[in-house]
């Protein structure tokens, strides 16, 4: 929770330094005055650059080119063929973003959305070369149970996906973008870790203000109305995630804590990767957790049954995608 708060501290301090964001920063700070841990009493998270805290890479020429849904589908079909994963790919007109279904072995792409190389990298690294890869590698291992996930594997699953996504993002960014831990912050506020538990409406309004500040600082060239609409939509989505599965919102402090796995898993996986060079390969044997690795070593499962090609980190990925581009 402290890391999430320190990230908020960085955001608020940046907001105070600009005339156009000072008011919204002060409004947010006022709401934190009675927290057990006040963000403005913490050291800000060292982000290295203003762009990093927003998770917005310094766009290179690569990120400007867009590819059609059909091109993206053909590209991913070839990737799945290389990995010999028996998956299908569909286009859904109702989908707002790409998603994978591990149980159905299916990648779903939004039918009308064109994608940049950076977005394709992100999807390839996070969904295909982490989630899909671990499930498929587990299925091909000598212990097929690894395809559906051992008990408590989710922290490692999501932490590894974030860690690899950050490595992938460096191919289209001059710096390593930081993950915004808004899920940890939202869960902490809703459960009352550092203050009286936030209600759905109160958290919605708070996150909307935070999103407005983040967008203004990011300088995306949107109108104030567009910024507020986007901020509201993202805040609603986050609140729905935070209270998913809760049937009655009248009891403060009752919420879903699932979104805490991302930061917790990322910290654990990052530490493990620093301590052992072979850790990435060991984690790719299936849907396993860090706590399962010693037992898997005893039964001889120490590397994936499929070679991980790290395609998402290929500096020539754009040329690879171009092979499947629509003909003029």
**pLDDT average, residue stretch 27-48:** 85
Could you give the CA distance from residue 98 to residue 113 in angstroms, rounded to a whole number?
9
Beta-carbon count within 10 A of 323 CB: 10
Checking if the pLDDT of 327 tops 60, the result is no
Instruction: In whole angstroms, give the CA distance from residue 63 to residue 232.
Output: 26
More confident of the two residues 41 and 134 = 134
Residue 219 pLDDT grade (very low, low, confident, very high; cuts 50, 70, 90):
confident
Structure tokens at 312: 């998402």
- Give the distance, in angstroms, between the CA of residue 175 and the centroid of all CA atoms in the same chain: 17
At residue 179, the 3 state secondary structure works out as coil
Confidence (pTM): 0.84
Q: Is 64 helix (H, G, I), strand (E, B) or coil?
A: helix
pLDDT of residue 304: 95
* Residue 66 CB-density burial (10 A; 0-12 exposed, 13-18 middle, 19+ buried): middle
Rounded distance between C-alpha atoms, residue 64 and residue 61, angstroms: 6
- How far the first Cα of the chain sits from its last, in Å, is 51
pLDDT digits (tens, 9 = 90+) for 251-293: 889 999 999 999 999 999 999 999 999 999 999 999 999 999 9
* pLDDT above 90: residue 326: no
**C-alpha torsion sign, points 286, 299, 151, 179:** negative
- DSSP letter, residue 255: -
Domain positions in the chain: 2-57+176-256, 62-158+262-317
User: For a pLDDT cut of 70, what percent of the chain falls above it?
Assistant: 91
Which whole number is the average pLDDT over 167-173?
A: 80
- Mean pLDDT over the full length of the chain: 89
Question: pLDDT at position 57, please?
Answer: 39
Q: For residue 270, give every residue at least 6 positions away whose Cβ sits within 8 Å of its Cβ, in sequence order, or none.
A: 159, 163
Q: Which of 40-44, 87-91, 170-174 has the highest mean pLDDT?
A: 87-91
pLDDT tens digits along 61-118: 455 789 999 999 999 999 999 999 999 999 999 988 899 999 999 999 999 999 999 9
Alpha helices in the chain (DSSP H): 2-16, 22-31, 50-54, 69-83, 117-123, 133-140, 154-169, 182-191, 200-218, 224-242, 261-275, 279-283, 293-298, 317-322
């Amino acid at each position: 929770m402290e890391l999430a708060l320190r990230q908020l501290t960085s955001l608020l301090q940046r907001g105070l330094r600009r005339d156009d964001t000072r008011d919204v920063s002060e409004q947010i700070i006022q709401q934190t005055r009675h927290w057990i841990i006040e963000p403005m009493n913490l050291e800000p998270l060292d982000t290295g650059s203003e762009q990093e805290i927003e998770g917005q890479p310094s766009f290179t020429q690569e990120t400007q080119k867009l590819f059609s849904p059909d091109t993206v589908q053909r590209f991913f079909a070839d990737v799945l063929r290389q990995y010999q994963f028996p998956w299908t790919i569909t286009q859904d007109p109702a989908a707002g973003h790409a998603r994978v279904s591990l149980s159905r072995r299916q990648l779903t792409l939004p039918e009308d959305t064109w994608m940049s190389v950076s977005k394709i990298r992100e999807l390839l690294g996070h969904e295909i070369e982490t989630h899909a890869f671990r499930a498929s590698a587990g299925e091909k291992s000598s212990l097929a149970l690894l395809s559906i996930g051992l008990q408590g594997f989710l922290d490692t699953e999501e932490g590894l996906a974030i860690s690899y996504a950050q490595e992938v993002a460096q191919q289209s960014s001059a710096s390593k973008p930081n993950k915004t831990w808004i899920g940890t912050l939202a869960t902490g506020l809703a459960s009352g870790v550092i203050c009286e538990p936030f209600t759905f409406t109160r958290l919605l309004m708070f996150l909307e203000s935070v999103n407005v500040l983040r967008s203004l600082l990011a300088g995306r060239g949107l109108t104030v109305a567009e910024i507020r609409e986007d901020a509201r939509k993202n805040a609603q989505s986050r609140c729905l995630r935070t209270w998913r599965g809760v049937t009655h919102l009248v009891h403060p402090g009752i919420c879903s804590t699932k979104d805490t796995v991302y930061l917790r898993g990322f910290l654990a996986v990052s530490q493990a990767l620093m301590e052992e060079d072979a850790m990435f390969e060991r984690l790719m044997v299936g849907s396993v957790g860090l706590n399962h690795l010693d037992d898997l070593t005893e039964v001889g499962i120490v590397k994936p049954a499929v070679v991980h090609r790290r395609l998402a980190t290929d500096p020539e990925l754009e040329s690879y995608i171009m092979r499947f581009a629509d003909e003029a």
